[in-house]
Amino acid sequence: MAWDQKFEELLREYLPFLDGEEPLAPDTDLRDCGLDSLGAVELLGSLEGAYDVRFVDEALSLDTFATPEVL
């Protein structure tokens, strides 16, 4: 796993089609796991709050939310 537990817990909240027992791989397609555009916006806010960071405008695209590795 290339990320901390907090990141995975936050991300899983927005992936309704990912079984809780299924591992989250770096190349997991987040859209296939149920992340939609509204979920991406909510996830963005959660990540910014949890990590005290801001995403630059150029990063605000669906491609950024394609996989955990990209994100």
pLDDT means over runs of 10, the chain (71 residues)? 89 96 94 95 95 89 92 90
Residue 61 to residues 6, 25, 37, 64, Cα–Cα distance (Å): 23, 21, 9, 6
Per-residue pLDDT at 59? 81
* 39 token code pair: 């979920």
Per-residue pLDDT at 22? 92
Q: What is the pTM of this model?
A: 0.87
Domains in the chain, start-ordered, CATH in brackets? Answer: 1-15+28-71 (1.10.1200.10)
Per-residue pLDDT at 57? 87
**Rounded CA separation 30/42 (Å):** 14
